[in-house]
């Protein structure tokens, strides 16, 4: 009975709308770590499939050897240390489980994103 005044004063609060950041794969550039161990799949931001055909790839990526020059869409510096990566991507062997497909090119000007 003593809690009744406090319960009456409490007003129900409407839940605030949740805004989810858009999963824009075109914003992936810089240093990238490619995770291949299934134990750490949940630590990756995206699941990718490394394809051989450029025509079917969602993103054509140029491998930059210097991290400082990996500053444009589709230009990645592949790092071997997860702690130094800007983005962690899990590599799958099954195309159906991937969020998008990546094809690596040898020409920097061919790097592009096709969401």
pLDDT band at 4 (very low <50, low <70, confident <90, very high): low
| Phi, psi angles (nearest 5°) of residue 113 | -125, 130
Average pLDDT over residues 8-12: 55
Identify each DSSP E strand in the chain by its residue range: 30-35, 46-50, 59-63, 75-78, 87-92, 100-105, 112-113
pLDDT at residue 3 greater than cutoff 70: no
Encode pLDDT of 72-106 as tens digits: 999 999 999 999 999 999 999 999 999 999 999 99
Chain mean pLDDT for the chain? 86
């Amino acid at each position: 009975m003593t809690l009744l005044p406090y319960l009456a004063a409490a007003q129900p609060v409407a839940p605030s709308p949740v805004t989810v950041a858009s999963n824009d794969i075109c914003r992936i550039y810089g240093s990238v770590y490619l995770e291949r161990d299934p134990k750490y799949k949940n630590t990756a931001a995206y699941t990718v499939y490394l394809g051989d055909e450029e025509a079917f790839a969602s993103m054509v990526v140029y491998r930059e050897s210097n991290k400082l020059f990996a500053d444009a869409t589709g230009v990645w510096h592949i790092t071997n240390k997860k702690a130094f990566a800007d983005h962690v991507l899990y590599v799958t062997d099954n195309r159906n489980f991937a969020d998008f497909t990546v094809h690596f090119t040898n020409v920097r000007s061919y790097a592009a994103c096709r969401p």
